[in-house]
Chains A and B, each alone.
Chain A
Amino acid sequence: MADTIIETKALTKRYGGLTAVDDLNLTVRQGEVFGLLGPNGAGKTTTTLMLLGLTEPTGGTASISGVDCTRNPIQVKRFVGYLPDNMGFYPDMTGRQNLRMTGAMNGLSGDYLEARIDELVARVGMTEAVDRRAGTYSKGMKQRLGIADILIKDPDVLIMDEPTNGIDPEGMHELMALIRELAEKDGKTILISSHQLHQIQQICDRVGIFVKGKLVACGEIGELGKQLEQESGFRLEVGAEPGGKALAEALRGVEGVSSVEESGENFLVQSAADVSDAVARALLTRNFHLTYLRQCGSDLDEIYSRYFVKAGEQHEGSRSGSIFRHLRGEAKA
């Protein structure tokens, strides 16, 4: 088991009557990429700010590498790099001057600093642009320079707030590769907060799903899928020729299937156990031509839609409600 590096205990932040972060218990292990997922306004940014000691929590504690983030923010900021949502640079200074200033604030100077700037700029692919004024940079370039900027102090932990906002697909791909590389090659611990699940799925080891200030689920993506399956049973999406009522009848006849719903051209099959083999066999013996068979629930899309799209309406629909109560209890435990 790897060491815990980021730890929050009962972390709470209230703004007047509004609870932005509610009793958050989170652990991030050394060297992993952790994705903090949630819709806008779920309290992700507030959490990252509290981890950096930029906002004082109303209750609870946060620590990184055993250093209390609220009491010792300066020490924390020595080994934590923070990439905010809208990273800004002084527009009248060149990229290099901006980086040099960050280096100086971290107590670096001289040849070491210059060499480090060159190395990092090459790494994020900004070598040509670094001597231009930062005011001329595009959003993607700023983001890349931002990553170079937070790496100057050679942090152990990187906290990135919506790093993929407003970046084109090409840039996104490079950014994801860079983040993955930082975790794997350099052994950095990375906490990414985002509402864009697809990128998170590509690069995160574990995710925490954050809704209205509460962590409703936390774990590996596969693990979350399994949790859902156990809770609500398996769901198969089946398509076959000829479709229609005959197919629905045939599906209902398979042992273990609890319900069959029509969804578009395909059918959604609900069951307590994995029945995909049985479904395939049954359809083949009845001379259906199987065109589509997919197990739902194991990808992030499904997790996403179940956890946080329905979060606002958790009291409607008894099934999703029960998942919530169950998981929330677990997250608190």
Chain B
Amino acid sequence: MKAAAAAASSAISGAKPRRETGGFSTLYHKELADHFHSARFKLVFALLILTSLASLYGALSSISDATFTSSEYLFLAIYTASGSSIPSFASFLAYLAPLAGLAMGFDAINRERTQGTLTRLVSQPIHRDAVINAKFLAGTTVVFIMIFFVGIMVGGLGLAILGIPPVGEELLRIFSYLALTAVYTALWLGVSILCSTLCKHAATSALIVIAVWIYLTLFASMVASIIANIAYPLDGIQGYYNMYGNYELQLSLERTSPYYLYCEAATTLLNPNVRTIGITTQASVSGALASYLSFDQSLLLVWPHLTVMLALTMAAFTVSYIAFMRQEIRA
């Protein structure tokens, strides 16, 4: 079939140097170039760099403090320690990385539509999905570059100032943490591309994704605790009996928010002290050795989180893919 199509096209085009499937790579390169040239990318990137430098400063000043209770894993403290009222690198990134994802994608499709370039793209001999695939993959590439850049930059500067080299396990933890952050950001990229497919105007889709982001980041936990308190009141004697149910309900509600999942996973990865997530009873802890968790065990602990995050990213992309493929292309 492909060969027949190629034969037909070459019969029409004569001696022209044609190659097949120019669509995806052309669009991918164009999208990457667009991102790197855009003021938005520069702004977000500058914001990420500045905040990570600030958090590095805070972390270093608190590490060099005499009262700092150091663990065996000092290098990881660069990412997790906060000081001088500056949040840690990890908490900064938890807030700002989604913003980077949103900024990269909220007008991906609807801008093409308003510019009138979408009709031009789809009237070329390329598969229609090449457009959205290229946009998502180019966005993901940019997100990975940004996250790994700031992560490695903080590590490198910290190494130069601190002078304590990281051990292999710390490096593994840092890289898996950065990969997790990049996947989390890609999730928000997927959500914003979904909005850009469904909304006609870039402003509408920007508002929607920002509202969703703020809700899931700031308010979801409040709502979860309110619901849990209504279902299992903690007042009076009955409150003691309700405690377990209350906590369990609140936790499961909070885990519907990707922000909470991400924070749980990030903490586990960056902090070998975290041995369990969720509810631990006295009985299950008794007899446990007070030691650090090895990297593979930490990874095992957050594997479900990572899976859910990837699944959510895929879901967001799949829905926008289907929506895009079924949409009317109108000038």
Contacts and interface: CB of A to CB of B under 8 A. Distances in A.
Contact of B117 (A85, A88, A104, A150): A88
B8 interface: yes
A102 B124 contact: yes
Interface residues of A, number: 40
B329 A107 contact: no
B330 to A, nearest CB: 7
A107 B19 contact: yes
The 9 closest A-B pairs by CB, nearest first: A88-B116, A82-B123, A84-B331, A107-B18, A104-B26, A77-B125, A85-B331, A88-B115, A84-B119
A86 B115 CA distance: 9
B17 A105 contact: no
Interface in B110-150: 115-127
Contact of B331 (A45, A74, A78, A90): A45
Interface string A74-117: 11011111101111111110000000011011111110100000
Contacts of A52: 123
Interface in B49-97: none
15 contacts: A49-B329, A67-B8, A74-B5, A74-B125, A77-B125, A78-B9, A84-B120, A86-B116, A89-B120, A105-B125, A108-B16, A109-B19, A153-B13, A154-B12, A161-B331
B9 A79 contact: yes
A75 B331 contact: no
A149 interface: yes
A109 B19 CA distance: 9
A88 B20 CA distance: 25
B70 to A, nearest CB: 50
B125 A106 contact: yes
B30 interface: yes
Interface of A: 45, 49, 52, 54-55, 67, 72, 74-75, 77-82, 84-92, 101-102, 104-110, 112, 149-150, 153-154, 156, 161
Given A84-B119, A109-B19, A45 B330 contact: yes
A54 B122 contact: yes
B328 interface: yes
B118 to A, nearest CB: 8
Contact of B123 (A84, A85, A89): A84
Given A55-B329, A74-B126, A104-B26, A88 B16 contact: no
B34 interface: yes
A225 to B, nearest CB: 32
A200 B302 CA distance: 67
B23 interface: yes
B272 to A, nearest CB: 47
Contacts of A107: 18-22, 125
Contacts of A89: 115, 117, 120
Interface string B1-40: 0000100110011001111111100110010001001000
Contacts of A106: 18, 22, 124-125
B103 to A, nearest CB: 17
Contact of A102 (B5, B115, B120, B122): B120
B26 A101 contact: yes
Contact of A75 (B5, B26, B115, B329): B5
A149 B5 contact: no
Contacts of A92: 34, 37
Most interface-central of B20, B23, B121, B125 (chain A CB within 10 A): B125
Given A79-B9, A87-B120, A105-B126, 19 more contacts: A52-B123, A67-B8, A72-B5, A74-B126, A74-B127, A78-B8, A84-B331, A88-B119, A89-B117, A90-B115, A90-B117, A101-B26, A105-B26, A107-B22, A107-B125, A109-B22, A110-B17, A112-B17, A154-B16
